Amino acid sequence: MGKFVDKPVDNLADKSVDNIQTTDEPIEGTWYAALATQLTSLDASLTDLKKDQLKQLIISVGQALESGHTCLLLTTQNPLPELLQHALIVDEKQATAQPAPLVRAEDYLYFYRQWQQEHRLAEQLTRILATVRPVNVQFEANETANTRQQQAITLAAKHSFSLITGGPGTGKTYTLVRIVKALQQAQPDLRIALAAPTGKAAQRMQSVLDIAFAESGIQSSQIQTAQTVHRLLGLGTTGKPRYHQRIPLPYDLIVLDEGSMLDLALASLLFDAIAPGTRLIILGDADQLAAVDAGAVLADLQQTPALQDHQIHLQESKRFNAMQGIGQLASAILAQDVMTFWQTFHKPENQSILKHINPQHLSDQQLFDQLWQGFLPFARALQDGQPVQQLFAVFDQYRILTAMRSGRLGVKRINQEMSRRLQLTLTQTAGFSDWFAGRPVMMSRNDYGLQLSNGDIGLCLPDHSGKWQVYFAHLSQPIAVTRLPLHDISTAFAMTVHKSQGSEFNRVAVILESAAQNLLSRELLYTAVTRAKQQVDLWSDTTAAEQALHNKLVRHTGLQRQLQKHIIALNCEQKQTAL
């Protein structure tokens, strides 16, 4: 066999699945089918039957990866056991010495790259844990942080790695501010990097922390502006980072927000680039959707027994009352409590907060007219000639979130209908122009030349000469539409729930369709509902909503096992050294 070479992956683009993918769909033309054909052709000794069985096994690993798993769970339905003895497949011990296309680890089968990423991440986290510089934290008698927040502050000051999880409004930002203040008092020249998986999440992180840092008297001269993890690592179009183990990131503290969106490939690169002695704090909500790409890093970190002393889960929400409104709805979703879920919509005190509309009872015209009502304040702001920043503020009051890109209530159709209604409102003509006043657009790929990140939202407006420009909230100057990569731009009245992560709006319309049954899940519904601060409109029939409630996503990974093994080994080594 030829030498197996691991190549970097372009992880700059939006890899959201268009619609439902099932293993029943044709696999010809997929990358993993081509790989299976190439690998099995290397062994001329295989019979046609064995070649087909091995090819199907490789395809199954590829399908698992496409579904978000990092590996394939081996079951009695997999091909004959002797296939696992083939030279293309090695065990973990062999994989550390000699890479091979596939790695078997207990009951899981990996492509080498994903196995290496999990193995490497566990090694690097163990290295981070081994370098501890505790900072003593003193709480005043009039301390405003609750008990769990105080525990989180003490935890982060004590350890080089901390995981702080919690739902919306549980005080993750407040707790982080207190941590930064404590660490700055111990080390005034503390160099701090702030990052998030997407541009939108980084912008929100920065806007919230700007206010919080100023109110707390925190010196921000040594705090870098929040940026995407890609930009933090210096990832270019080649997929190779500027910062890595040999050239680590030059910071004393790295804070990652929206940790649930972190996929395995990006997490592995991030952990690899953290210098000895640097603190890493990850914030997030493990009940939200996992990353679009393979892995469930935040959930795996949270569920690793050996990391229990390095994490705290904040529970008391100041944004939502757990007994009413959005808070009660979110709790019912997490508990998969169907009865409480529907009862919450019918409570008298929730009538102005929670609305349920069955789209099957409406014509298309009625349906889209009702969805459009939420954008009327935005249309009026455009008619009044409001300043750009005010337009952004009004536009962010409302968003339509859906599971699918195509279909009657998919992103594409909704955006077409909302675009038509905005043009009718402003010009009294429907128009079919790609660019029009007020068109909201979203980037689906990082473009460092334009300083744009995947997920950034812009608004199209004419300049004084009538030429179309797109304004982005984080940029001081607009960008001419002729400079934008049109294949990486889409209209953004509606977006998938995945793309909404890291954002929040006053009101959201959450759309669920039974046609999207393979995409509907407890995590998707919870993520969508908790994007709202004040009002949730659920557009769904009973079947689709209950399908989402009953379906709890599970991703097959081996990261917990790798972490547990490496951390236990470190603890044993430290105990031996102490004797």
List the one residue out of 99, 82, 88, 43 whose CA is nearest residue 61. 88
575 is in an annotated binding site: no
323, burial (CB in 10 Å: exposed 0-12, middle 13-18, buried 19+): exposed
Identify the DSSP state of 179. Answer: H
Task: Return the ∠ at Cα 477 (arms to 476 and 479), rounded to 5°.
Answer: 140
Residue that the structure tokens 């579904």 belong to: 67
Distances from the Cα of 445 to the Cα of 80, 197, 434, 455, angstroms: 42, 13, 19, 8
Residue pair 178/203 in contact by the 8 Å Cβ criterion:
no
How many helices, marked H, and strands, marked E, lie in the chain? 20, 20
377 is in an annotated binding site: no
172 is in an annotated binding site: yes
Q: How far apart are CA 331 and CA 549, in angstroms?
A: 11
259 is in an annotated binding site: no
Task: Return the ∠ at Cα 440 (arms to 203 and 475), rounded to 5°.
Answer: 40
Q: How far apart are CA 353 and CA 360, in angstroms?
A: 22
Q: How far apart are CA 156 and CA 137, in angstroms?
A: 10
Q: Name the pairing type of β-strands 440-443 and 457-462.
A: antiparallel
455 is in an annotated binding site: no
Residue pair 453/231 in contact by the 8 Å Cβ criterion:
yes
Residue pair 382/436 in contact by the 8 Å Cβ criterion:
no
Q: How far apart are CA 99 and CA 485, in angstroms?
A: 38
Who contacts 430 (Cβ-Cβ below 8 Å, separation ≥6)?
Answer: 420, 423, 424
168 is in an annotated binding site: yes
325 Ramachandran zone, left/alpha/beta (phi>0; psi -120 to 50):
left
Q: How far apart are CA 181 and CA 212, in angstroms?
A: 11
List the one residue out of 529, 509, 521, 545 whose CA is nearest residue 320. 529
Q: In what order do the strands lie in the sheet with 532-539?
A: 354-357, 532-539, 505-511, 398-402, 494-496
Give the residue numbers of the binding site for ATP: 166-173
Give the residue numbers of the binding site: 166-173
